[in-house]
Chain A
Amino acid sequence: MIQFLNLLINGVIEGLVVALPALAMTLVMGVNRFPNAATGDLMTTGAYTAVILQALGVSSLLGATVLAALGTAIISVISYELIFKKLARQPMIASLLAAIGLGFLLRSVISFFAGHDQRNFKLPLVRAWNFDGVRILPSDLNIAAAALVCLLLVFFLLYKTSFGRQLRAVSDNPDLARASGIRARSLMIGLWLLVGMISAIGGVLLGMKAVVMPELGWDHLIPAFAAMVLGGIGSPVGAVLGALIMCVAQELSVPLLGPSYKLVLSFGVLALVLLIRPSGLMGRTELVR
Chain B
Amino acid sequence: MIAYFVAIGIVSLIYALLALGLNLQFGLTRLVNFGIVAFFAIGAYTSALLALAGVPLLISFICATLLAGFAALPIGLLSLRLREDYLAIATLGFSEAVRITIQQEEWLTKGVQGLPGIPKVFASLGTSQADNALFVLLLALTALVAWGTVRLTRSPLGRLLRAIGDDEPALMALGKNPTKFKVQIFMLGAGLAGLAGAFYAHFITFISPEQFLPLVTFYVWMGLIMGGSGTVRGALGGAVLLMIFLEGSRFIKDWIPGVSEVQMASVRLAAVGLALILVTLYRPNGLFSGNSKT
B129 at the A/B interface (Cβ < 8 Å)?
A: no
The residues in B between 235 and 294 inclusive whose CB is less than 8 angstroms from any CB of A are: 262-263, 265-270, 272-277, 280-281, 284, 287-288
A105 touches B273 (CB 8 A): yes
Interface centre among A87, A92, A289 (most CB of B within 10 A): A289
A236 at the A/B interface (Cβ < 8 Å)?
A: no
B97 touches A93 (CB 8 A): no
B225 at the A/B interface (Cβ < 8 Å)?
A: yes
A54 at the A/B interface (Cβ < 8 Å)?
A: no
B89 at the A/B interface (Cβ < 8 Å)?
A: yes
User: Which of A124-132, A145-153, A270-278 is the interface stretch?
Assistant: A270-278
A91 at the A/B interface (Cβ < 8 Å)?
A: yes
B84 at the A/B interface (Cβ < 8 Å)?
A: yes
A275 touches B269 (CB 8 A): no
A289 touches B101 (CB 8 A): no
B270 touches A104 (CB 8 A): yes
Report the bound CA distance from A263 to B190 in whole Å. 23
B281 touches A87 (CB 8 A): yes
A225 at the A/B interface (Cβ < 8 Å)?
A: yes
A74 at the A/B interface (Cβ < 8 Å)?
A: no
A264 touches B284 (CB 8 A): no
The minimal Cβ–Cβ distance linking A100 to chain B, given in whole angstroms, is: 6
Report the bound CA distance from A266 to B198 in whole Å. 29
A278 touches B81 (CB 8 A): yes
Given contacts A109-B266, A111-B266, contact A101 B81 (CB under 8 A): no
Which range holds the interface residue count of chain A? Answer: 35 or more
A112 touches B273 (CB 8 A): no
Which range holds the interface residue count of chain B? Answer: 35 or more
The residues in B between 104 and 158 inclusive whose CB is less than 8 angstroms from any CB of A are: 104
The minimal Cβ–Cβ distance linking A95 to chain B, given in whole angstroms, is: 8
A288 touches B81 (CB 8 A): yes
Given contacts A91-B288, A271-B78, contact A105 B89 (CB under 8 A): no
Report the bound CA distance from A266 to B262 in whole Å. 34
Interface centre among B88, B263, B272, B277 (most CB of A within 10 A): B277
Given contacts A35-B85, A289-B80, contact A222 B92 (CB under 8 A): yes
A225 touches B89 (CB 8 A): yes
Which residues from chain B contact A241 at a C-beta distance below 8 Å? none
B100 at the A/B interface (Cβ < 8 Å)?
A: yes
For residue A233, which residue of chain B has the nearest CB? B86
Which residues from chain B contact A100 at a C-beta distance below 8 Å? 218, 273, 276
Interface centre among B97, B168, B225, B272 (most CB of A within 10 A): B97
Which residues from chain A contact B281 at a C-beta distance below 8 Å? 83, 86-87, 98
The minimal Cβ–Cβ distance linking A232 to chain B, given in whole angstroms, is: 13
A176 at the A/B interface (Cβ < 8 Å)?
A: no
Choose one: B82, B88, B266, B273; the contact of A287 (CB below 8 Å). Answer: B82
A101 touches B276 (CB 8 A): yes
Which residues from chain B contact A93 at a C-beta distance below 8 Å? 32, 84-85, 88, 287
Report the bound CA distance from A83 to B270 in whole Å. 16
Which residues from chain B contact A274 at a C-beta distance below 8 Å? 78, 81-82, 86, 90
The minimal Cβ–Cβ distance linking A225 to chain B, given in whole angstroms, is: 5
A66 at the A/B interface (Cβ < 8 Å)?
A: no
Which residues from chain B contact A102 at a C-beta distance below 8 Å? 273, 277
Which residues from chain B contact A225 at a C-beta distance below 8 Å? 89, 93
Given contacts A102-B277, A104-B273, A289-B168, contact A261 B100 (CB under 8 A): yes
A105 touches B277 (CB 8 A): yes
The minimal Cβ–Cβ distance linking A156 to chain B, given in whole angstroms, is: 30
The minimal Cβ–Cβ distance linking B75 to chain A, given in whole angstroms, is: 9
Report the bound CA distance from A62 to B262 in whole Å. 33
Which residues from chain B contact A278 at a C-beta distance below 8 Å? 81-82
Given contacts A83-B277, A101-B280, A275-B78, contact A108 B96 (CB under 8 A): no
The minimal Cβ–Cβ distance linking A27 to chain B, given in whole angstroms, is: 16
A226 at the A/B interface (Cβ < 8 Å)?
A: yes
Which residues from chain B contact A8 at a C-beta distance below 8 Å? none
Report the bound CA distance from A226 to B86 in whole Å. 10
Q: A108-B270, A109-B266, A278-B81 are in contact. List 12 more A-B contacts (CB 8 A).
A: A35-B88, A83-B281, A86-B281, A92-B83, A98-B277, A98-B280, A98-B281, A108-B266, A108-B269, A111-B269, A271-B94, A289-B168
A-B contact pairs, 30 of them (CB 8 A): A34-B85, A35-B86, A35-B89, A90-B280, A90-B284, A93-B85, A94-B284, A94-B287, A96-B88, A98-B276, A98-B277, A100-B273, A100-B276, A101-B276, A102-B273, A111-B266, A111-B269, A112-B266, A222-B93, A229-B86, A258-B104, A263-B93, A264-B100, A267-B93, A268-B97, A271-B90, A274-B78, A287-B83, A287-B86, A289-B168
Residues of chain B at the chain A interface (Cβ within 8 Å): 32, 78, 80-86, 88-90, 92-94, 96-97, 100-101, 103-104, 168, 218, 221, 225, 262-263, 265-270, 272-277, 280-281, 284, 287-288
The 4 closest A-B CB pairs, nearest first, are A101-B276, A104-B273, A105-B273, A267-B93
